[in-house]
């Protein structure tokens, strides 16, 4: 029987013809060397992405609302991390999916229960032009790190509006209609859903995605963010 399953993990052309060098120090070998990775890990501090107040449990004492969603931030978007995210997204350096997933993992608490990782979906036009569904690829790598983690394509991207450059008000109104629930994906209301995004700018995307899940009856929603714009 011919193998017609599309292999979405095929490395990009650049990955095949050029050996990786560390984006931090230039060391030949991996796309990020162990030493530079450790330096980035050392920059981790969990804080509220809205008011920047540090916390340890993902709950902000300042912004705490009636039903706060535990929010785990790896770091600010600065220095090397910012460059890595840029290379990953815009230069489609697929090999970065794994270390970026490891950074998110570093910021997360230990979960005993079943976790559904829900990447915030990207505009399909961007996925096509980059050849990479970047948030989904990070979620897939994260799921490989824990037996109780599963990737769920629960969210669909509706419109093709682009948030880059839009002001906070425009971002909010765009985000409100940006996503919908995938009718083909069953919801386990008692499982924990972990929404994943690479960059938090105003939080409009995360908030509207979380709202959709809340409205669908999911009781436990956590948010994971790789980097917060400063
Ligand atoms: Zn290095
Ligand atoms: Zn806060």
How many A from CA of 43 to the centre of ligand 2? 19
Ligand 1 midpoint to CA 218 (Å): 41
The number of distinct structural domains making up the chain is 1
For residue 137, is pLDDT > 50? yes
Query: Does any domain span residue 35?
Result: no
Residue 219 lies in a domain: yes
Mean pLDDT computed over every residue of the chain? 88
What confidence score (pLDDT) does residue 201 get? 93
Q: Is residue 24 part of a domain?
A: no
HSE-CB at 8 with a 13 A cutoff on CA atoms is 12
Does residue 4 form part of some domain? Answer: no
The predicted-structure confidence for 85-117, as pLDDT tens digits, reads as follows 999 999 999 999 999 999 999 999 999 999 999
* 81 alpha carbon – ligand 1 mean position (Å): 12
> Which residues crowd ion ligand 1, with CB under 5 Å?
22, 24-25, 27, 33, 36
Q: In this structure, is residue 13 part of a structural domain?
A: no
What is the mean pLDDT of the segment spanning 188-209? 94
Please tell me the predicted confidence (pLDDT) of residue 219.
92
Instruction: List, for residues 12-30, the tens digit of each pLDDT value.
Output: 555 556 678 999 999 999 9
CATH number at residue 77: 3.40.50
Q: Please give the residue range of the domain that contains residue 192.
A: 46-228
Residue 204 structure tokens = 């409009």
Mean pLDDT of 152-177: 76
Calculate how far, in angstroms, residue 76's C-alpha sits from the geometric centre of ligand 2: 15
- Per-residue pLDDT band for 79 (boundaries 50, 70, 90) equals confident
């Amino acid at each position: 029987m011919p193998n017609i399953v599309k292999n979405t993990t095929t490395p990009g052309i650049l990955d095949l013809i050029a050996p990786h060098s560390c984006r931090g120090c230039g060391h030949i070998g991996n796309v990020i060397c162990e030493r530079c990775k450790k330096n980035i890990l050392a920059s981790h501090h969990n804080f509220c992405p809205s008011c920047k107040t540090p916390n340890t449990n993902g709950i902000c004492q300042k912004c705490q609302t009636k039903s706060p969603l535990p929010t785990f931030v790896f770091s600010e978007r600065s220095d090397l991390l910012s460059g890595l995210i840029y290379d990953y997204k815009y230069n489609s350096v697929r090999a970065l999916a794994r270390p970026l997933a490891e950074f998110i993992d570093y910021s997360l608490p230990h979960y005993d229960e079943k976790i559904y990782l829900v990447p915030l979906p990207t505009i399909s036009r961007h996925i096509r032009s980059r050849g990479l569904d970047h948030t989904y690829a990070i979620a897939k790598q994260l799921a490989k790190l824990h037996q109780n983690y599963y990737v769920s394509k629960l969210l669909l991207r509706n419109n093709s509006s682009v948030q880059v450059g839009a002001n906070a008000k425009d971002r909010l109104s765009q985000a409100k209609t940006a996503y919908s629930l995938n009718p083909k994906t069953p919801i386990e209301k008692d499982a924990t859903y972990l929404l994943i995004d690479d960059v938090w700018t105003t939080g409009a995307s995360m908030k509207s995605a979380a709202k959709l899940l809340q409205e669908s009856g999911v009781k436990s929603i956590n948010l994971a963010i790789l980097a917060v714009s400063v």
